[in-house]
Amino acid sequence: MSETPTVPPLSGVLETGLYVDDLATARAFYERVLGLKPMIADARFCAYDAGPGSVLLLFARGQTLEPVVMAEGTIPPHDGNGPLHYALAIPASAVAQWEQHLAAHGVAMESRVTWKGGGVSLYFRDPDRNLVELATPGLWPNY
């Protein structure tokens, strides 16, 4: 009889990557509207601190199709198409502030959902039509 192998532990999602048509326009949106600060950037990508242990990566679409060889090792090629979705965590006390902030920046709210668990999600689009969600605790059993 064989034993069922134990799955090694996960610690969370570290990076979320989006592919954008115009990196400068995307950077302006994420820095101006969401207040994100770049940790590292070049003509190919920008990495943002998206909260404790979380990184949001913006890649210029089509610029990651070749391996990136560095002294530390090689990053395999990747790319993506179409509008993607991701969520950023916000405190419940900040929902009204975010609604006002987005309106002040001319960002149209696409939807507002109040979940059965008590969480609230605000949905809007970035310049590349990616669906951005700002979510409070109560959305998932683990959040």
* pLDDT tens for the chain, residues 1 to 143: 667 789 878 888 899 999 999 999 999 999 999 999 999 999 999 999 999 999 999 999 999 999 999 999 999 999 999 999 999 999 999 999 999 999 999 999 999 999 999 999 999 999 999 999 999 999 999 99
Q: Partners of 17 in the beta sheet?
A: 57
In a domain, 7, yes or no: no
Q: Partners of 86 in the beta sheet?
A: 132
Residue 11: predicted pLDDT: 84
Domain boundary among 28, 61, 81: 81
CA torsion 126-24-19-41 (nearest 10°) is -120
Domain with 52, as residue range(s), is 12-81
Domain boundary among 34, 64, 81: 81
In a domain, 4, yes or no: no
In a domain, 23, yes or no: yes
Residue 83: predicted pLDDT: 92
In terms of DSSP bridges, do strands 85-89 and 109-114 run parallel, antiparallel, or are they unpaired? unpaired
Domains of the chain: total: 2
Q: Partners of 133 in the beta sheet?
A: 87, 123
Residue 137: predicted pLDDT: 96
- CB count in 10 Å sphere of residue 69: 9
Q: Are 99 and 74 in contact (CB under 8 A)?
A: no
- CB count in 10 Å sphere of residue 19: 23
In a domain, 3, yes or no: no
Residue 2: predicted pLDDT: 67
In a domain, 1, yes or no: no
Q: Which of 76, 77, 75, 134 is nearest to 102 (CA)?
A: 134
26 and 57 in a single domain? The answer is: yes
CA atoms of 110 and 126, how far apart (whole Å): 11
In a domain, 5, yes or no: no
